[in-house]
A and B are shown apart, each in its own frame.
Chain A
Amino acid sequence: NAGVTQTPKFQVLKTGQSMTLQCAQDMNHEYMSWYRQDPGMGLRLIHYSVGAGITDQGEVPNGYNVSRSTTEDFPLRLLSAAPSQTSVYFCASMKTAPIGTEAFFGQGTRLTVV
C-alpha cells in the first residue's frame, strides 16, 4: 500500500538550475497539495489542486509551478532555483469527508540550493 510517493528524497541544486519534484498517490484522492517546511515555520502551502486540470496558489507560490494532468500525479517545478528555496518539501494527498480533510503525506524531499 504505497500511499504517497515522493522522489527524489534528497537533491542538491546550483542556483539558477531547474528541476521537478515528483509526487504520486494511489488513493484516488482529488485534492493534493505541496508544502515546504523550514525550521520554526511549520508547513507552508505552496500550491494545491482540487482535481485534474485545476490548480491554485497557496501561501508561498513564487518560484514554483504545478500542473495536474492526472488524478495520481502532482509534480512541483522549480523554475530557477534560489538559496531561499532550500527546504524540505512535502506532498500531501487529501481525503475530504464530512468530518474534515485528512492529509496523507509523502516522506519528503530535502532540497539544498547552493
Chain B
Amino acid sequence: TQLLEQSPQFLSIQEGENLTVYCNSSSVFSSLQWYRQEPGEGPVLLVTVVTGGEVKKLKRLTFQFGDARKDSSLHITAAQPGDTGLYLCAGIFGNEKLTFGTGTRLTIIP
C-alpha cells in the first residue's frame, strides 16, 4: 500500500511555463518534505513543512502544506531546464519512518 500518491507521474513542459505537482495521502503527516533526484544520484532535500497551511518559497519553487496536513503541492514558476528531475515527497507518519511518494518525473524542454 502506497501511503503517499503523487501526480502527475510524468510531466513534460516547455521552458518558461508554470507547473504544479501534487502529493496526497489519507493519513495525517507530522511533517512533509520535498526532495529532488537527478540521474545517478540520491535524492536531495528541498524543503520541510510542518504546519498546516504553511507556504514556503525557494526561488521559483513554492511549496504548500494542506490545512489538514494530508496533502502538499509544489509549484514552479517559469520552469527552466535545470528544474528537470524526479520530485519526491516524503512524510513522517506517527513513528519515525520516513515514507516516500511515488514521484513525479519532470522534463523541461528548452
Contacts and interface: CB of A to CB of B under 8 A. Distances in A.
How many chain A residues sit at the interface, stated as a range, is: 20 to 34
Q: Which 5 A-B pairs have the closest CB atoms?
A: A105-B42, A100-B31, A43-B100, A100-B48, A42-B102
B24 interface: no
Interface stretch (B11-19, B74-82, B89-97): B89-97
B21 interface: no
Given A31-B96, A103-B90, 20 more contacts: A33-B98, A35-B100, A40-B102, A41-B102, A42-B88, A42-B100, A42-B102, A43-B100, A44-B100, A45-B98, A90-B42, A99-B50, A101-B31, A101-B33, A102-B33, A102-B45, A103-B43, A104-B45, A106-B42, A107-B42
B96 A101 contact: yes
Given A41-B102, A42-B101, A96 B42 contact: no
Interface of A: 4, 31, 33, 35, 40-45, 48, 50, 58-59, 90, 92, 94, 96, 99-108
A99 B42 contact: no
A35 B101 CA distance: 12
Interface residues of B, number: 28
A109 B12 CA distance: 28
B55 to A, nearest CB: 15
A59 B50 CA distance: 24
B99 interface: yes
19 contacts: A4-B42, A31-B96, A33-B98, A40-B9, A40-B103, A42-B2, A42-B88, A42-B102, A43-B43, A45-B98, A48-B96, A90-B43, A94-B98, A100-B32, A100-B50, A100-B92, A101-B92, A105-B41, A107-B41
